[in-house]
Structure 1
Amino acid sequence: MRLARLTLAAAALLLVTTASVPSGTPLSQTERHTSLSSDAIEPRGAAPRPAVQRARHEPPFGAFVGSWDNYIPNIAKMATWLNGADMQVGHTYLAGNGWGDVEGESVVLGLWSQWKLADPQRKLVLGVPMLVPNENNMPDAEVARLLARANKGEFDLHFLKLARKLVALGGQDTVMTLGWEMNGTTYTSRCKPDPTAWKAYWRRIVTVMRSVPGQHFKFDFNPTRGLDAIPWTRCYPGDDVVDIIGMDSYDQPAGGTFDEYISEPYGLQDQVEFAAKRGKPVSYPEWGLFRNGDNPEFVRRMVEWMRTHDTAYQTVTDYCPHGFWQCDRNPRSTSAFKQLMSGSKGAAFPSAPHPGQ
């Protein structure tokens, strides 16, 4: 989840930068058992674990260095700082103030597409809101009403326009983190007010966007780690409309350990097992420091985790308090990150087609 909203200038239909907020308080053992028993993830020990797919490559990586198009040169600057690392993933977001934002500003999408097209191994990851306004503390009842309207097709045209623009500009293989962090409370594009309607709406959006000739989009189901407002498994819309199972993973709550981040309900272990059952890769579209300050152990463990699982891509959130290159608050973690990622050549982004493609 994210703090520090940016207000868009009136003259710019550009993109939005945000930061993270905590995911809630720890669960009691009773609450954990109840929540885990209510959906697709079974309590530990209840059934044999599926084989977790292991990475055969260095995961393609990048950083969120800012949403505005003039942040694009920072990717090359950060790569130079990492001694020539091949940062193959660009990550940005569409603003969600109105439907025009969701349709995408052609100039901005074009500049990001130009960055991607300069190297065939590059990939653009785009956060796409499902409802607008996306960050105005909308009550649950109003979210549910919007979801009902959405499932009548009222908003289809906006996603059709976005898909057509991306294909026309060369972004036909963009990865969409559609309705990211849907298991939380921050965004209007959230699941808890009506999970059934939310899943149907996700399916509708994917169907609309996949109808555009020439598209090869991938759709990344991207909750925040752990049990937030709702178990993220209750929001999962189906294997045929999801290509990647992502997770935003920040170093929180205060006092948390990486072992807890692995074993907590709906944490890292549950994510990779859920993905393994479905033969899908995982991703980490947002990760970084947060509630525990300068913590190089988190950095080392997170990079190791991503390198030893079937990670389609990872993008660190690189601004304070989360990051390393643009933030001088975390000298020990910065040193660890630079040592781990310096000179990394990454790998080609997995190119398996989505179902029916």
Structure 2
Amino acid sequence: MRIGKAHLRGLIAAAAFLGVLVLPATITGGDRGPSGRTASFGVFLASDARGTERLPAFESWLGDLETTVGRTYLPGENWLALRGPDFILDPWIRWRAEKPGRILALNVPMIAPNEGSLPDAAVAALLGAGAKGVFDLVFRTLAARLVDGGAADTIIVLGWEMNGTTYSSRCAPDPGAWKAYWRRIVATMRAVPGQRFRFDFAPSRGPDAIPWPECYPGDDVVDIIGMDTYDQPPGETFADYVGQPYGMRYHADFARAHGKPISFPEWGLFRRGDRPEYVRGMLEWISSHDVVYHSISDYCPHGVWQCPANPESAVVFRRYLERPPAEPGTPPGPGRPAAPAEEPPYPAVAPVAPAPARATPPIFPMIPDVSAASRPSETRRSKSPARRTPASPSSRASAG
């Protein structure tokens, strides 16, 4: 669905900011309206075919609202998985081809294993290797797979939440190498004939392990500046999320300064439970800014359809987006399509499995032991309880 009306307010301010490379940690200024753009809407329901199969019931719940953005993740267990396994890409490529105007937004890790508790030294070594082209074949193969399948205009959400510590594809161990590696991946994928990819730089909201502007790789290799944001610290209110250092207002102003639209590839409820005011705040913010697309993470505890724990937020979400609008005071009726029972968004047996004794397959003999030998344990790297990022759907790639 396209929400919000087109406004010209903010164009003059955008011109005034052009050329700014780094902004201070706190930014003041008014909100800007969309520059002739309305946001395309997506939802994450599952990474594989179950995601596409559930979309019709979700759309029916929203009054036959059409979702135009397909959201999925590549599993990050090993380098072969980053080439684009059939059980993930095939159903989404088919969905995208069924109707004009649909978009595929694909999260792509930069390092494998992406959630393997790699220490900083191992991450830095892999970033450096990637910047030198060691992994070019992986991303060239993925790009060709998408182009050949008819998804040449896919939005690539590359190395998302790089400012945190949850994923191996993080920036803090070596920001210079991270940026060089990003640039290398973009150049490699853009070199595939027929591609029309857009690359989405999507940190998590607020301060984290590193200020996310320090990871920004350059305007020539970024098409969209995204942000993953959930109802969790730092901050307590939606106003806090907007005004905090490296928060949502900073995000909007930074993107405007660089001449880029914004996105919210992941957003949803989290640590504060069923908070309809958060959902309303997000939807109103999206409506009033230059947002290319947004996608709610619809699984517990974040969602509003597959997660029955958030009924009040579900009412707000539905009334804001559904077509036709609900009558005032009318809750979702008894005809609501039932959400499927909660289950892992991946098949019990994933077609792509990690190599038995090493995280990096032997197609990269230059660094055969970096990720395997340096891994301290099988325990997932975690943040402090107040800042832990919601587990990505990609973490369930091998769930039973």
Using the size of structure 1 for normalisation, the TM-score is 0.82
Alignment deviations for residues 309-343 of structure 1 (CA, whole Å, 9 cap, x no partner): 00000000001100001011011101000100102
Contact 1:252 1:291 in 2 (8 A): yes
Aligned match of 1:241: 221
Q: Is structure 2 residue 55 aligned with structure 1 residue 41?
A: no
Q: Return structure 1 stretches of 4+ with deviation > 6 angstroms.
A: none
Deviations 1:260-296, CA, capped at 9 Å, x for gaps: 0000000000000001011111000000000111100
Q: How does 1:119-268 map to 2 (within 5 A)?
A: 119-253=99-233, 256-268=236-248
Q: With structure 2 as the length reference, what TM-score do the two structures score? A: 0.74
Q: Shift in Å at residue 53 of structure 1?
A: 5.2
Q: CA deviation at 1:136?
A: 1.1
Residues 206 and 234, structure 2, Cα contact 8 Å, conserved in 1: no
* Distance in 1 separating the partners of 2:220 and 2:236: 35
Aligned to 1:299: 279
Alignment of 1:43-58 (within 5 A): 43-44=25-26, 52=32, 54-58=34-38
Q: Give the secondary structure class of the aligned counterpart of 1:177.
A: strand
Of 93, 96, 120, 1:116 maps to 96
- Please give the per-residue CA displacement for 1:161-188, whole angstroms capped at 9, x wherever unaligned: 0000000001100001100100000110
**CA separation of 1:306 and 1:344: change in aligned 2, threshold 3 A:** farther
Q: Which amino acid aligns with 2:50?
A: N
3-state SS, counterpart of residue 292 of structure 2: strand
Residues 43 and 141 of structure 1, relative CA distance in 2, 3 Å threshold: closer
Q: Aligned pair 1:316/2:324, yes or no?
A: no
Match of 1:83 in 2: 63
- The structure 2 residue matched to 1:96, chosen from 73, 76, 100, is 76
Distance 1:53 1:157 in 2: 41
Residue 246 and residue 75 in structure 1: after superposition, are their counterparts in 2 closer, same or farther (change >3 A)?
Answer: same
Paired letter, 1:165: R
Relative distance call for 1:44 and 1:99 in structure 2 (3 A) is closer
For each residue in 1:63-99, what CA deviation from the matched residue of structure 2 results, as whole angstroms up to 9, or x when unmatched? 0001122321111210111011111011000001111
Q: Would the aligned equivalents of 2:107 and 2:160 in 1 still touch at CA under 8 Å?
A: yes
Mark the structure with the bigger radius of gyration: 2
Could you tell me how far apart the structure 2 residues matched to 1:232 and 1:324 are?
29
- 2:69 counterpart letter in structure 1: V
Contact 2:162 2:171 in 1 (8 A): yes
- Write the distance in 1 (CA, Å) between the matches of 2:273 and 2:222: 34
Which of residues 286, 303, 315 is equivalent to 2:266? 286
Aligned residue among 86, 98, 102 for 1:106? 86
Q: 1:178-215, CA deviations, whole angstroms, 9 ceiling, x for partnerless residues?
A: 00100000110000000000000000000000000000
1:128 and 1:82 map into 2 onto residues whose CA distance is 29
* Identity level (%): 50
**Mapped partners of 2:310, 2:83: distance in 1:** 37
Structure 1 residues 133 and 63: CA distance shift in structure 2, 3 A: same
What is the distance in 2 between the residues matched to 1:284 and 1:128? 16
Q: 1:49, CA displacement in angstroms?
A: 5.4
Q: Residue 252 of structure 2: SS of its match in structure 1? A: helix
CA contact (8 A) 2:31 2:288 kept: no
- 1:86-129 superposed Cα distances (whole Å, 9 cap, x missing partner): 11011000001111100011353122111001111110110000
Q: CA deviation at 1:54?
A: 2.0
Aligned to 1:294, the other structure's residue is in SS state: coil
Give the aligned partner of residue 3 of structure 1: none
Equivalent pair of 1:113/1:171 in contact (CA under 8 Å): yes
Alignment partner, residue 351 of structure 1? none
Corresponding letter in the other structure for 2:194: G
What letter corresponds to residue 82 of structure 1 in structure 2? L
Q: Which of the residues 308, 313, 319 maps onto 1:339?
A: 319
2: CA distance, partners of 1:274 / 1:227 = 15
- 1:344 to 1:67, Cα distance in 2 relative to 1, 3 A: farther
Q: CA offset at residue 242 of structure 1?
A: 0.2
1:254 Cα deviation (Å)? 7.9
Q: How many residues align?
A: 305
Q: CA deviation at 1:44?
A: 4.4
Q: Structure 2: which amino acid aligns with 1:91?
A: R
Structure 1 alignment gaps of length 5 or more: 1-38, 346-357
